Structure 1
Amino acid sequence: MPQVPKANLVAGALTLVIASIGGFALAANMDANFTEGFLKLTYPKALVKAAHSHGQPFGLFNLLVALLVPHLALGERERLWLSRLSILALLMPVGLGLRGAMDGSLLPAPLSFIGGFSFLGATALLLKGGWAKRSV
Structure 2
Amino acid sequence: MKKFENYCSNLDVLSRAGQEDLTNEFIIGGIIDKFHIQFELGWKVLKELLKYEGRQEGNTGSPREVLKAAYSIYGFLDEEIWLAMLKDRNSMTHIYDGAEAQRLVHVILNRYIPEFLRLRDNLQQQYPSLLNML
Structures share a fold, TM > 0.5? no
Specify which structure has the higher proportion of helix.
2
Bigger Cα Rg: 1
Tell me the TM-score normalised to structure 1 length. 0.43
